[in-house]
Structure 1
Amino acid sequence: MITFYFYWLSAFFCLAGCNKTRVIDDVDLLMLVGFDWIDESKEYLGTELFPRYGLSEDSHDRRVGVFSAKGYTTQQIHSNIQSKVPNKIESGKLLGIVLGEELAREGVNEVLYGISEDPNIGRGLFVAIAKGTASELLSTNYNTDHILPIFLKDLMKTQSNNSLPPVNLHQYNYSYYGEGMDPYLPILANKDNQIQLIGLGFFKGDQLTYEIDYNRLFYFRILFENSTNTEFDLLTEKIGHLSIVAIESTLKKKWVSKNKLELHVTIAGTLTESYNQKLTSFSNKAEIEGTIKKKLEKETKQLIEDLQKHDVDPLRIGASAKATFRDWQEEKWKEEYPTVEITPVITFNLKQTNIVH
Structure 2
Amino acid sequence: MNVKNYLCCSLVPILLAGCTPSPKVLEDIQLVQTIGYDYVNGEEFEGTAGSSNIPPGEQSLPVNEVFSATGKTSKRIRQKIQSEAARPIVVGRVGLVIFNQELAEHGIENQVDSLQRNPSIGRKLLLVVSKEKAKDIIDSNYSQSDSVSQYLIDVVEQNLEQTIPDVNLHRFLVHYYSKDADPFLPLIEKQGKHLKVSGLGIFKDDKLVDTISFGDAYIFKILYEKFRRGQFEVELSGGEDVSLENLSSKPKIMVDKRNGKYTATFKVKVNGRAMEGVDLDLTDKKTIERIEKAVEKEITERAEKMVKRFQELNTDPLRIGEKARQRSDFNRKEWKEQYSEMEIKIEADVNAVQSGIIE
Same fold judged by TM-score > 0.5? yes
What is the CA deviation profile of residues 173-217 of structure 1, one whole-angstrom value per residue up to 9, with x for unaligned ones? 110111210000111111112111011010111110011011111
Q: Where in structure 2 are the equivalents of 1:297-308 lying within 5 Å?
A: 297-308=300-311
Q: Where in structure 2 are the equivalents of 1:196-211 lying within 5 Å?
A: 196-211=196-211
The one-letter code matched in structure 2 to 1:221 is K
Q: Where in structure 2 are the equivalents of 1:33-182 lying within 5 Å?
A: 33-39=35-41, 42-54=43-55, 61-182=61-182
Instruction: Report the CA distance between 1:2 and its aligned residue.
Output: 12
Contact 2:31-2:53 within 8 A present in 1 as well: no
Change in CA separation of 1:9 and 1:241 when aligned onto 2, cut-off 3 Å: farther
CA distance in 1, matches of 2:163, 2:37: 26
Change in CA separation of 1:248 and 1:57 when aligned onto 2, cut-off 3 Å: farther
Change in CA separation of 1:166 and 1:263 when aligned onto 2, cut-off 3 Å: same
CA distance in 2, matches of 1:56, 1:225: 45
Structure 2 residue runs without a partner (length 5+): none
Instruction: Report the CA distance between 1:109 and its aligned residue.
Output: 1.0
CA distance in 2, matches of 1:57, 1:266: 52
Change in CA separation of 1:256 and 1:167 when aligned onto 2, cut-off 3 Å: same
Q: Which residue of 2 aligns with 1:261?
A: 264
What is the CA deviation profile of residues 254-293 of structure 1, one whole-angstrom value per residue up to 9, with x for unaligned ones? 2343422111001001122245322232122112211211
Task: Indicate the RMSD between aligned Cα atoms, in angstroms.
Answer: 2.4
Structure 1 residue runs without a partner (length 5+): none
Instruction: Report the CA distance between 1:123 and its aligned residue.
Output: 1.4
Q: Which residue of 1 aligns with 2:33?
A: 31
The one-letter code matched in structure 2 to 1:96 is L
Q: Which moved more, 1:247-256 or 1:98-107?
A: 247-256
Residue 289 of structure 2 corresponds to residue 286 of structure 1: yes
Contact 1:55-1:61 within 8 A present in 2 as well: no
CA distance in 2, matches of 1:323, 1:146: 49
> 1:277 aligns to what SS in structure 2?
coil
Q: Which residue of 2 aligns with 1:332?
A: 334
Instruction: Report the CA distance between 1:144 and its aligned residue.
Output: 2.1
Q: Which moved more, 1:267-276 or 1:307-316?
A: 267-276
Instruction: Report the CA distance between 1:353 and its aligned residue.
Output: 4.4
Q: Which residue of 2 aligns with 1:11?
A: 12
Aligned residues: 353
CA distance in 1, matches of 2:173, 2:64: 29
The one-letter code matched in structure 2 to 1:307 is F
> 1:338 aligns to what SS in structure 2?
coil
What TM-score do the two structures reach when normalised by structure 2? 0.91
Instruction: Report the CA distance between 1:77 and its aligned residue.
Output: 0.2
CA distance in 2, matches of 1:274, 1:132: 37
Q: Which moved more, 1:171-180 or 1:229-238?
A: 229-238
Q: Which moved more, 1:47-56 or 1:259-268?
A: 47-56
What is the CA deviation profile of residues 74-102 of structure 1, one whole-angstrom value per residue up to 9, with x for unaligned ones? 00000000000011111111111101111
1:271 to 271, 274, 285: 274
The one-letter code matched in structure 2 to 1:278 is D
Residue 226 of structure 2 corresponds to residue 223 of structure 1: no
> 1:30 aligns to what SS in structure 2?
strand
What is the percent sequence identity of the aligned residues? Answer: 27
Change in CA separation of 1:182 and 1:55 when aligned onto 2, cut-off 3 Å: farther
The one-letter code matched in structure 2 to 1:85 is A
CA distance in 1, matches of 2:20, 2:354: 58
CA distance in 1, matches of 2:56, 2:273: 43
CA distance in 1, matches of 2:90, 2:283: 61
> 1:308 aligns to what SS in structure 2?
helix
Contact 1:239-1:277 within 8 A present in 2 as well: no
Instruction: Report the CA distance between 1:242 and its aligned residue.
Output: 2.1
CA distance in 2, matches of 1:54, 1:303: 49
Instruction: Report the CA distance between 1:327 and its aligned residue.
Output: 3.5
1:311 to 314, 317, 322: 314
The one-letter code matched in structure 2 to 1:16 is A
Instruction: Report the CA distance between 1:27 and its aligned residue.
Output: 0.9
Contact 2:242-2:278 within 8 A present in 1 as well: no
Instruction: Report the CA distance between 1:10 and its aligned residue.
Output: 4.4
Q: Which moved more, 1:61-70 or 1:177-186?
A: 61-70
Change in CA separation of 1:126 and 1:219 when aligned onto 2, cut-off 3 Å: same
What is the CA deviation profile of residues 45-84 of structure 1, one whole-angstrom value per residue up to 9, with x for unaligned ones? 00001123316999x9342110000110000000000000
Change in CA separation of 1:65 and 1:349 when aligned onto 2, cut-off 3 Å: same
What TM-score do the two structures reach when normalised by structure 1? 0.92
